[in-house]
Amino acid sequence: MPYELYYWNGLQGRGEFVRLALEEAGAPYVDVVRGSEDEGLGDAAMMALLNSKTEPSIPFAPPFLKDGDLIVSHTANILLYLGPKIGLAPETDQRYVVHGLQLTIADMVTEVHDTHHPIASGQYYEDQKAPAKARATDFLAHRLPKFMHYFERVLAQNPHGAQHLVGERLTYVDLSMFQLIEGLHYAFPRATARFASHYPRLAALRKAVAARPNIAAYLASDRRLPFNETGIFRHYPELDSAGH
């Protein structure tokens, strides 16, 4: 039975981190909300689950994954669950190291979101532009370099070499790092103009992931939606500024 991934349609969003892992592994999955209502899929299927009055493990929000009766919610938790099953995580205690890095990525993703929504996630960006500019300025000056310097250190200190964040084989967190770097380049082209000279190992990881056959095929497919201004990574030129 294929995995069922539930996530909002029309954007990459947090669901994309899960899609990249499923696509790299060639694992069978259904992107439920993008499916047809005639087949019991689509938006209504997701809302029915979120609003269920009987399901014991209701998620707070998408993305979530259904595998048989089990519902796993939160991007990082889904990857934790899938990782060993699809060959993208160690089965040793190193899986907690991989998961810790994924949670740091999740924290940074939240901070990226908050550059355009610093006051209220339920209100329009246009109604919080001034604080958004203040938060984005701080993010680009302090937070982005702090996170990226950290991730670059993790690659540099991997005793198996800087090709992967953990160990000597690809794990899902390498794929998520690719997505994070892609998103940052989309949202902040000016601030990331010198990314590769500041973070050479991360830039090399980004290239290596993009060149993997299954990832390249996915990125060229129509399953890969382009970045847009309804997702996490939004290109609002007024929030971007020249990098360090």
Site mask for its own copies (CB under 8 A), range 101-140, x = bound: --xx--x--x---x---xxxxxx-------x--xx--x--
Closest to its own copies by CB, 139 or 233: 139
* CA nearest neighbour of 18 among 58, 65, 59, 57: 65
Among the listed residues 10, 47, 153, 161, the single contact to its own copies using CB under 8 A:
153
User: CA 21, 30, 212 angle in degrees (round to 5)?
Assistant: 30
**Is 80 a residue that touches its own copies (CB under 8 A)?**
yes
Indicate whether 59 belongs to the interface with its own copies (CB under 8 A): yes
3-state secondary structure at position 16: helix
* Of positions 77, 176, 179, 192, contacts its own copies by CB under 8 A: 77
Contact 160, 167 (CB under 8 A): yes
For its own copies, the binding residue among 26, 37, 85, 96 (CB under 8 A) is 96
Please state, in angstroms and rounded to a whole number, the distance separating the CA atoms of residues 105 and 176. 8
Nearest CB to its own copies, comparing residues 110 and 214: 110
Question: Nearer to its own copies by C-beta: 43 or 114?
Answer: 114
Facing residues of 64 across strands? Answer: 6, 73
Within 201-230, the residues that bind its own copies by CB under 8 A are: none
> Cα–Cα distance between 244 and 238 in angstroms, integer?
17
Q: Report the distance separating Cα 187 and Cα 240, nearest Å.
A: 8
Residue 57 binding its own copies, by CB under 8 A: yes
Among 25, 41, 109, 166, binds its own copies (CB under 8 A): 166
In the numeric block, the tokens 């050479």 are attached to 200
Q: Which residue has the tokens 């919080």?
A: 128
Q: Does 63 bind its own copies (CB under 8 A)?
A: no
Backbone angles phi, psi at 28, to 5 degrees: -70, 130
Cβ pair 224, 182 in contact under 8 A: no
Residues that bind its own copies (CB under 8 A): 52-60, 64, 70-74, 76-77, 80-81, 93, 96-97, 99-100, 103-104, 107, 110, 114, 118-123, 131, 134-135, 138, 142-143, 147, 150, 153-154, 157-159, 166
